[in-house]
Amino acid sequence: SGSAGSGNGRWAATACVVTGASRGFGRSLARLLAPRLGPGSLLALLARSAEPLMALAAELRGGGDSGLRVICVAADLGCEDGLRRATAALREVLPAEPLGRLILVNNAGSLGDISKSFLDLTDPDEINTYFAFNVTSALCLTSRVLQAFGKRPGSSRTVVNISSLCALKPFRSWALYCSGKASRDMMFQVLALEEPDVRVLNYAPGPLDTDMQLLARTETRDPEMRQYFQDLQESRKLIDCTVSAQKLVKLLEEDTFQSGAHVDFYDI
């Protein structure tokens, strides 16, 4: 697996940060990444809910002898105070470590109020709150983590944005979600252009079997869209989080994607 490998199927000392790690795709991904992180590695788990985060950290530390440090940062990235606390916690642990690799996974995100159509979205506070969490926090967290880790000789830095088909295609009732995902994709394309030594990937994990999908098939205002998601579930076309996370890990291991590219679960 190129420069990242340490010969035994594990990555050399790595700092790995996963946002939205307490459930769904983030939790599945953290479980797959932990055993691959070699001795001296650091895994930072971020989410709003402290309890499921601590439970996951305890489970991942369970290996005991792996030499992996797991830290939890419980913070609401949607509010400035939470974002500041999260970045401060990461800035504290990142520079001190002699780590050769950084992997940051921007997974935290929300659907927005999908019971509303475009014409119902009239409240600037609601809209700004949505973008603060789904766009602003991903930008600030990424820039600050990259600054904190810095350019180190011989090290590699990878930034993953958990994207969606909605970044490329409009869906009725999903104005906030689609525009948030589209702006994140573009934001990370700009990062790829500006920082050629940072590997950037927009990964769309496919329709996952999560709480978000449950919302999609029960709350979506547009009846055709709602039916579409119900059909996905009934025909068992929803993807298990672990199956999709495995594809992402494979992409990271092979490390051949074009920086800034949008890669979909179904492309691989």
CATH of the domain at 52: 3.40.50.720
Is residue 219 included in any domain, yes or no?
no
pLDDT at 7: 40
Q: Can you tell me the distance from the alpha carbon of 168 to that of 161, in angstroms, rounded to the nearest whole number?
A: 14
Is residue 4 included in any domain, yes or no?
no
- Rg over CA atoms, the chain: 18
Please spell the DSSP secondary structure of 171-218, one letter per residue: -TT-HHHHHHHHHHHHHHHHHHHH-TTEEEEEEE--SBSSHHHHHHHH
**pLDDT at position 244 over 60:** yes
Place of tokens 């509303």: 116
pLDDT at 67: 82
Is residue 225 included in any domain, yes or no?
no
- Cβ atoms within 10 Å, residue 49: 13
Is residue 257 included in any domain, yes or no?
yes
Nearby residues of 19 by Cβ (< 8 Å), 6 or more positions away: 26, 46, 47, 77, 105, 106, 107, 108, 138, 141
Sign of the Cα torsion 247, 163, 4, 240 reads negative
Angle 223-234/211-219 helices, nearest 10 degrees?
Answer: 140
Is residue 191 included in any domain, yes or no?
yes
Q: What is the pLDDT of residues 188-235, one digit of tens each?
A: 999 999 999 999 999 999 999 999 999 999 999 999 999 999 999 999
Is residue 224 included in any domain, yes or no?
no
Q: What is the pLDDT of residues 47-68, one digit of tens each?
A: 999 999 999 999 999 766 678 9
| Number of compact structural domains in the chain | 1
Q: Can you tell me the distance from the alpha carbon of 48 to that of 108, in angstroms, rounded to the nearest whole number?
A: 9
pLDDT at 9: 66
Is residue 77 included in any domain, yes or no?
yes
Please, what is the average pLDDT of the chain? 93
Show the domain range for 180.
Answer: 14-207+241-263
Is residue 234 included in any domain, yes or no?
no
Nearby residues of 75 by Cβ (< 8 Å), 6 or more positions away: 46, 48, 82, 83, 85, 86, 89
